[in-house]
Structure 1
Amino acid sequence: MNRLNNKYIGLLITVILFSCGGGDDGPPPNQLPGLIGTVQFPTANLLCIDNNITFDWNDATDAEDGNNVTYRITIARDRDLTDIVETRIVATSQVTILLDRNMAFYWNVVTRDSEGLESEPSPTLAFFTMGDGETNSVPFTAALVAPGDDANVPSGTVTLSWLGGDANPNDILMYDVFFGTNPNPPMISSDITDETFDVMAPDAATTYYWRINTTDGSGSRSIGRVWQFITN
């Protein structure tokens, strides 16, 4: 009988221990750190008279570690940030970097917490470093608005939308529109000044490709990247 009672007592203790501690899944998963605050310099489409650029943005915080964050800044020659000229991890929200003159650059910042987890990147901004005696800069490549790259859209009329930019505020920008089912789409319209254009995409389950070239009043031109969308 004592042996049977001991068996039941042991089972009861096991149940109690499991009920009190067995359901503990540990601490909650680490959360993404916050995005950086407002960019102070260089702001969008800025013409910089110097090529020793002090990048500056408002501090970000981490919900779990307070202010214990670092930042990864990426600078590239293209808006997709694939032709990278500089990437650094810094402990403060300001860093000075020497860049080439007379060139367009694109940059963004991500916040990193103490475990290396990164936030979503800040919006990619463009700026231009002025060269000696520079009077005109090449316009920036067009920024995608809609439809999103690789987006699914209804077949029929599709409105293409983008944003142009130029470091010379008085420049009038004109756009060439390239569109079709070929990954290297043909030009279908030129020298338009609007930043939207309606195209016909009549075939369902089809991938359409498009890009925008930008020209300023001095004839300087930037070649856009190819975007794509798929019709439903």
Structure 2
Amino acid sequence: MKNFIYLSIIGLLFTACGSGGGDDPVAPANTAPTVPALASPADNKLCLDNTVVFQWNQSSDTEKDAVVYQIQVAKDNGFTQIVSNLDATSNLTNTATLDKNTAYYWRVKATDAKGLASAYTATYKFYTAGVAVVNHLPFAPALTQPLINSVLTGTSATLGWTASDVDTADVLSYDVYFGTANPPTVKVSDNITGLSTTVAVEPTKQCFWRVVVKDNKGGETIGQVWKFKTN
């Protein structure tokens, strides 16, 4: 009887000591690199040479993974007209020859060796100079409110944007188009100088709107279509 008790105790000890021996260590979670910071060309810059050198600052990675960068250059701030798309470069600079007398937009993101990417940087815009150009077109407007695909409550909505022009002395005005058709065709504001306008909305609708930016020398730039919903 005593031998049986001793054997039982020894068996329990072996079981207890071996219960966790086969567990694998938990690998630390991977985190994305930090968002790079754009350096040059600066936002709203007029580039006198159409061969443009793009520069950005290095991202950091918590796990010390190798980091590569993707740089996109486009003719619109929605990046549907991309003219240069460089993937997986470890450099912090890239050179592209672009059209003269044209507005461009650029951004960069970082990706680590495990494939996890940061968000894109904020979009910077610049203009390439033309030959004997007297006036440059305004840059495309940028959205401030409401956010794309947001859902609004109420009977009215405030539409907001920002805009700029490399010709800093130019006076800008705005036409706003709004409706439930895409693209919107109803002009709800004409030649306004403020950066917002309020429109009436109906419930359970998909709404579309865009802004046309005009300078006082006859130049104009049509913005992309933005959208939101009402409930």
TM-score of the superposed pair, with normalisation by structure 2? 0.89
Match in the other structure for 2:199: 199
Match in the other structure for 2:215: 216
Pairwise CA RMSD of aligned residues? Answer: 2.2
Match in the other structure for 1:174: 173
Contact 1:76 1:84 in 2 (8 A): yes
1:16 CA drift (Å): 3.8
Q: Secondary structure at the match of 1:61?
A: coil
Structure 2 alignment gaps of length 5 or more: none
Over 3 Å counting, the alpha-carbon distance change for 1:11 and 1:53 in structure 2 is farther
Contact 1:65 1:114 in 2 (8 A): no
Q: 1:71 aligns with which of 62, 69, 72?
A: 69
1:165 CA drift (Å): 1.5
Residue 169 of structure 2 is aligned to residue 164 of structure 1: no
Moved runs in structure 1, 4+ residues, more than 3 A? 1-18
Which structure 2 residues correspond to residues 132-151 of structure 1 after superposition, within 5 A?
A: 132-151=131-150
Q: Secondary structure at the match of 1:165?
A: coil
Which structure 2 residues correspond to residues 23-172 of structure 1 after superposition, within 5 A?
A: 24=24, 26-37=26-37, 39-65=38-64, 68-88=66-86, 89-172=88-171
Over 3 Å counting, the alpha-carbon distance change for 1:170 and 1:6 in structure 2 is farther
1:28 CA drift (Å): 2.1
Deviations 1:55-102 (A, max 9, x none): 112221111116x32211000111111211111132122222211111
Which residue identity does 1:167 align to in structure 2? Answer: V
Counterpart-to-counterpart distance in 1, 2:73 and 2:29: 31
1:10 CA drift (Å): 6.9
Over 3 Å counting, the alpha-carbon distance change for 1:9 and 1:138 in structure 2 is farther
Q: Secondary structure at the match of 2:140?
A: strand
Over 3 Å counting, the alpha-carbon distance change for 1:17 and 1:213 in structure 2 is farther
Residue 166 of structure 2 is aligned to residue 189 of structure 1: no
Which residue identity does 1:90 align to in structure 2? Answer: T
TM-score of the superposed pair, with normalisation by structure 1? 0.89
Structure 1 alignment gaps of length 5 or more: none
Contact 2:189 2:197 in 1 (8 A): no
Paired positions, count: 228
Q: What is the percent sequence identity of the aligned residues?
A: 36
Residue 17 of structure 2 is aligned to residue 19 of structure 1: no
